[in-house]
């Protein structure tokens, strides 16, 4: 058993200290020590993207980062997206455009899309598909995820947004 | 999947990292982006006693032009390569190659130096580096040495990097304006290694090939330079017959391992097809 190390990072704006073995992966620290269970464990082999969190302005698969590597880092997880009880534009977009079914991949999708829109506020469909390719979804077929990201991008640019989903539009009209 | 216990070191300078590497000898491994090493450690294929994290060595990051060379810090990430204005303008082959590596999240972490030092024939940078005639700066206790990419890769996971050495920089001669280039890569899905890939750099003069490099990925123990294929093209018109002959000669040197990506015959055929595609595309991008 190797010596434990204290690691300090900012988690969704809150200064956080944890004591971990060097071999502990960030996903386990977040879920088991910080009780942030938004980031999910999907494949554990850096393929699926369900564990994606934002680390110092980069989308990172937290199953493939040691917690000790996150020392002094700024972390953002899905728990940090909604502010003051109001959904983030991306969360609203995923709801309005039916960008999820089972929801397992969604926290990773949201955090990845958050960074993508920070870097490129007006991505084309092709750019969304290319830069979201590290997140797998087994329900939606991706079409509605692309629409959800487009919805959020438009809202964040200050444009009027409306769901493209026929049933949702009908519900909202009543 | 959690790695075996190890001691973690996060040196703040290159000399400190080299000293740690020498102190712990072959029980130590260097951690760059960690997207090859950590998966191997999780599967217990790698079980280092000491992990030396290069993540805090900002001196190993960055892309700059120095005289007629582009110099890239070994800890520069794939996304930093893709977003570099300098590379987009002066070395677009490297950008085209990096864009085809793994997926966005992995590209935020994966580094050019890690990709090269790892010595995995499935990695793309070894091929790109040989095609670009790059050289590598290796730093050790007794100073640094510069070795060419062509000849650096000795076998699967085996390179000229010696115990106690750290790759610090990649040096690429600025490609002459008008040179053609292409990295043609076949993969089954995002995030997969190449089934086969080919990098081409091309210079034409008076309608004929004046210089060409053809290098193949994941069809042998290392990245393979298709020297006979290159030789067959020098001084020739780059027509379909010449391209076919070069692809045939490139296929001759392939010794791929059969796996889920395909059998030997299929992978060899795909290496030929990637060679054809890379040559055709490089030609269209060449100023005659």
Which residue of chain B comes nearest to A44, CA vs CA?
A: B1
**pLDDT reported for residue B288:** 62
Q: What is the pLDDT of residues A102-120, one digit of tens each?
A: 999 999 999 999 999 999 9
Residues of chain B found within 8 Å of residue A72, distances taken between Cβ atoms: none
- Partner-chain residue, chosen from A44, A59, A64, that has the shortest CB–CB distance to B104: A59
Residues of chain A found within 8 Å of residue B106, distances taken between Cβ atoms: 46, 61, 134
Residues of chain A found within 8 Å of residue B55, distances taken between Cβ atoms: 69
Which one-letter DSSP state was computed for residue B205?
Answer: E
3-class SS of residue B167? strand
pTM for the full predicted model: 0.96
Determine contact, residues A136/A105, Cβ cutoff 8 Å: yes
Give residue limits of the domains in chain B: 1-53+63-174, 180-284
Residues of chain B found within 8 Å of residue A5, distances taken between Cβ atoms: 8
**pLDDT reported for residue B189:** 93
d(CA B216, CA B272): 9
Which one-letter DSSP state was computed for residue A83?
Answer: B
Which one-letter DSSP state was computed for residue A32?
Answer: I
Domains in chain A with CATH codes = 5-80 (3.10.20.30), 89-173 (1.10.150.120)
The CATH code of the domain at B180-284 is 3.30.390.50
**pLDDT reported for residue B53:** 98
The ipTM estimated for the assembled molecules is 0.95
**pLDDT reported for residue A168:** 72
Q: Is the CB of residue A60 less than 8 Å away from at least one CB of chain B?
A: yes
Determine contact, residues A6/A17, Cβ cutoff 8 Å: yes
Q: What is the pLDDT of residues A10-25, one digit of tens each?
A: 999 999 999 999 999 9
- Low-confidence residues of chain B, pLDDT below 50? none
**pLDDT reported for residue B1:** 86
- Partner-chain residue, chosen from A45, A64, A68, that has the shortest CB–CB distance to B8: A68
Averaged pLDDT, A71-92: 97
Determine contact, residues A30/A14, Cβ cutoff 8 Å: no
The CATH code of the domain at B1-53+63-174 is 3.30.465.10
Helix (H) or strand (E) holding B245: helix B240-252
């Amino acid at each position: 058993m190797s010596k434990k190390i204290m690691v300090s990072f900012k988690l969704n704006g809150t200064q956080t200290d944890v004591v971990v073995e060097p071999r502990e992966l960030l996903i386990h620290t977040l879920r088991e020590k910080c009780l942030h269970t938004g980031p999910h464990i999907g494949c554990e082999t850096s393929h699926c993207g369900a564990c994606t969190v934002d680390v110092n302005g980069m989308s990172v698969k937290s199953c493939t980062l040691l917690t000790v590597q996150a020392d002094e880092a700024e972390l953002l997880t899905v728990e940090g997206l909604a502010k003051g009880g109001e959904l983030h534009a991306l969360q609203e977009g995923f709801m309005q455009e039916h960008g999820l079914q089972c929801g397992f991949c969604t926290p990773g999708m949201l955090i990845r899309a958050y960074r993508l829109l920070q870097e490129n506020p007006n991505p084309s469909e092709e750019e969304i598909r290319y830069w979201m390719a590290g997140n797998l979804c087994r329900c939606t077929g991706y079409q509605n995820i692309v629409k959800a990201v487009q919805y959020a991008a438009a809202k964040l640019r200050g444009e009027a947004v409306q769901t493209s989903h026929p049933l949702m539009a009908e519900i909202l009209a009543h | 999947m959690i790695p075996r216990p190890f001691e973690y070191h996060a040196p703040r300078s290159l000399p400190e990292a080299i000293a740690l590497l020498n102190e712990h000898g072959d029980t130590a491994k260097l951690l760059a982006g960690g997207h090859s090493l950590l998966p191997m450690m999780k599967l217990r294929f790698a079980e280092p006693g000491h992990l030396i994290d290069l993540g805090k060595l900002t001196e190993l990051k960055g892309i700059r032009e120095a005289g007629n060379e582009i110099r890239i810090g070994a800890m520069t990430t794939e996304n930093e390569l893709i977003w570099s204005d300098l590379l987009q303008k002066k070395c677009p082959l490297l950008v085209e190659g990096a864009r085809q590596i793994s997926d966005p999240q992995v590209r935020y972490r994966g580094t050019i130096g890690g990709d090269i030092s790892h010595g995995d024939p499935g990695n793309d940078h070894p091929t790109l580096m040989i095609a670009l005639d790059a050289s590598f700066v290796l730093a050790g206790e007794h100073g640094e040495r510069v070795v060419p990419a062509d000849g650096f890769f000795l076998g699967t996971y085996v390179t000229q990097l010696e115990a106690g050495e750290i790759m610090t920089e990649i040096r690429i001669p600025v490609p002459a304006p008008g040179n053609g280039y292409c990295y043609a890569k076949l993969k089954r899905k995002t995030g997969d290694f190449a089934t086969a890939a080919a990098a081409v750099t091309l210079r034409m003069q008076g309608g004929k090939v004046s210089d060409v490099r053809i290098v193949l990925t994941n069809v042998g123990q290392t990245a393979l330079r298709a020297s006979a294929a290159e030789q067959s093209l020098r001084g020739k018109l780059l027509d379909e017959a010449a391209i076919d002959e070069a692809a045939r000669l490139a296929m001759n040197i392939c010794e791929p391992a059969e796996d889920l990506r395909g059998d030997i015959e299929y992978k060899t055929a795909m290496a030929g097809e990637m060679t054809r595609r890379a040559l055709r595309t490089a030609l269209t991008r060449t100023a005659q």
